[in-house]
């Protein structure tokens, strides 16, 4: 995102920084690009992050409900309440937000601010944080303390959003090697969206942005492949091309010298198309996202993963308007997406 976008930095209602401003409270600080953006590109970018929000919101109120429960009580429309007592259309927290370029240290600082202060949370508080992320941030904070002491730097300076050259020696790889959850995929879309004009960077950064939290190689490779799919969707590839068992082989140059792990590669080649493990979305976002939610268990994560990719393919204009109108902080999301499109149009 643009360096001058102060609305992406934490803002508080009080001088003691006890009550953070939530995304829907930042509208007065928003500013749109001064030049027009590519409308076709914006349709896909806006689709991706609104689709993420829709999947998150649809699944949040039934998170952790087993498949058997969902068979008897399927989600058919937006609703509130449930596991986290969220309002209708409210989401758990926003997608990964970055400043200029790819800065994994900045990413960790923002995650830490979410964990500690509720940065970019729809409730102003951190909730639904995964165990892998929590462990990673504990490691990150300890490394910050050690680094600050060793270099005679205040922790406040280390937490600032100004790039410090001395941070080049900071070990940002705080991820847990045995992490096996799917959190890494849940909010990955903003990375390939930002860098889609350079598929190699988009794929590399999709993996690296996940690896600092989830060090497991399978998660790293899954995020790289997922980033490649989003880039391909932005480019306008057909669904048959995105689901082609040979997609990886055909786009192998995007992945550089690092080959996918064998078990991840098998999934890309179609091993997921097993009985009761795969369901076609019948060429509509609505059918697909509801199917993802109604699988049960980790409902918000699965639906958000589906939502990011499928709505990049379908585009914003194909999303159900009766749902979009209830999305939390939609003006904030729209403004952010305009800047992503602008940076890729100029």
Q: Tell me the pTM.
A: 0.92
Provide CB contacts within 8 A for 31, sequence distance 6+: 5, 7, 335
Closest to 199 measured CA to CA, from 239, 241, 219, 229 = 229
* Domain-embedded: residue 155: no
Residue 30 burial (C-beta neighbours within 10 Å; 0-12, 13-18, 19+): middle
Is 133 annotated in some ligand binding site? no
Residue 20 CA: distances (Å) to CA of 12, 14, 76, 117, 126: 4, 8, 33, 7, 11
Q: How many CB atoms lie within 10 A of CB 114?
A: 22
Residue 324 lies in a domain: yes
What φ, ψ does residue 134 adopt, rounded to 5°?
-60, -45
Q: Is 86 helix (H, G, I), strand (E, B) or coil?
A: strand
Domain annotation covers residue 74: yes
Domain hosting residue 50, numbered range: 39-102+182-343
**Helix axis angle, 285-293 to 299-314, nearest 10°:** 170
Cβ atoms of 123 and 14 closer than 8 Å: no
Helical spans, DSSP H, in 235-273: 239-242, 247-250, 262-266
Residue 63 makes CB contacts below 8 A (sequence gap 6+) with 82, 83, 84, 128, 298, 299, 300
Total domains, the chain = 1
Q: Is residue 113 part of a domain?
A: no
Cα 172–Cα 223–Cα 333 angle in degrees, nearest 5: 85
d(Cα 249, Cα 132) in Å, to the nearest integer? 31
For residue 103, say whether it is annotated as part of any ligand binding site.
yes
145 belongs to a structural domain: no
Residue 335: inside a domain, yes or no?
A: yes
Can you give the length of the chain in residues? 346
SS3 177: coil
The CATH number given to whatever domain includes residue 197 is 1.10.4080.10
User: According to the annotation, is 301 in a ligand binding site?
Assistant: yes
* pLDDT score of 72: 96
Q: Closest Cα partner for 41 from 267, 320, 316? A: 316
From 32, 46, 15, select the one nearest 189 (Cα to Cα).
46
Asked if residue 4 belongs to a domain, the reply is: no
pLDDT in tens, the chain (346 residues): 444 566 788 899 999 888 999 999 998 889 999 899 999 999 999 999 999 999 999 998 898 899 999 999 999 998 888 777 888 888 866 655 555 568 899 899 999 999 999 999 999 999 888 888 899 999 999 999 999 999 888 888 888 756 667 888 899 999 877 766 677 788 889 999 999 999 999 999 999 999 998 889 999 999 999 999 999 999 999 999 999 999 999 999 999 999 999 999 999 999 888 766 667 788 899 999 999 999 999 899 999 999 999 999 999 999 999 999 999 999 999 999 999 999 887 6
| Tokens found for residue 80 | 């509130």
C-alpha span between 161 and 198 (Å, rounded): 25
For residue 128, what pLDDT is reported? 81
What's the rounded Cα separation, in Å, for the pair 119 and 47?
23
């Amino acid at each position: 995102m643009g360096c001058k976008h102060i609305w992406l930095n934490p803002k508080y209602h009080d001088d003691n920084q006890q009550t953070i401003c939530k995304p829907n409270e930042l509208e007065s600080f928003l500013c749109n690009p001064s030049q027009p953006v590519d409308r076709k590109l914006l349709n896909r970018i806006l689709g991706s992050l609104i689709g993420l929000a829709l999947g998150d919101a649809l699944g949040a109120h039934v998170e952790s409900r087993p498949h058997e429960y969902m068979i008897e009580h399927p989600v058919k429309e937006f609703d509130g309440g449930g596991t986290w007592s969220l309002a209708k259309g409210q989401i758990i927290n926003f997608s990964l937000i970055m400043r200029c370029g790819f800065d994994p240290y900045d990413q960790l600082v923002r995650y830490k601010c979410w964990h500690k202060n509720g940065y970019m949370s729809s409730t102003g508080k951190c909730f639904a944080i995964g165990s892998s992320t929590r462990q990673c941030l504990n490691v990150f904070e300890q490394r910050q303390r050690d680094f600050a002491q060793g270099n005679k730097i205040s922790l406040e300076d280390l937490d600032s959003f100004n790039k410090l050259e001395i941070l080049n020696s900071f070990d940002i790889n705080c991820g847990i090697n045995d992490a096996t959850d799917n959190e890494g995929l849940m909010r990955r879309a903003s990375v390939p969206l930002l860098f889609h004009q350079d598929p190699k960077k988009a794929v590399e950064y999709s993996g690296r942005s996940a690896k600092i939290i989830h060090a497991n190689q399978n998660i790293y490779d899954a995020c790289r492949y997922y980033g490649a799919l989003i880039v391909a969707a932005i480019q306008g590839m057909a669904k048959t091309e995105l689901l082609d068992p040979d997609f990886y082989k055909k786009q192998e140059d995007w992945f550089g010298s690092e080959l996918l792990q064998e078990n991840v590669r098998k999934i890309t080649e179609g091993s997921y198309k097993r009985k009761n493990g795969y369901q076609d979305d019948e060429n509509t976002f609505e059918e697909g996202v509801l199917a993802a939610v109604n699988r049960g268990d980790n409902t918000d994560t699965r639906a958000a993963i589906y939502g990011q990719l499928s709505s990049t393919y379908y585009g914003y204009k194909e999303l159900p308007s009766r749902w979009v109108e209830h999305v939390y902080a939609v003006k904030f999301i729209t403004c952010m997406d305009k800047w992503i499109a602008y940076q890729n149009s100029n």
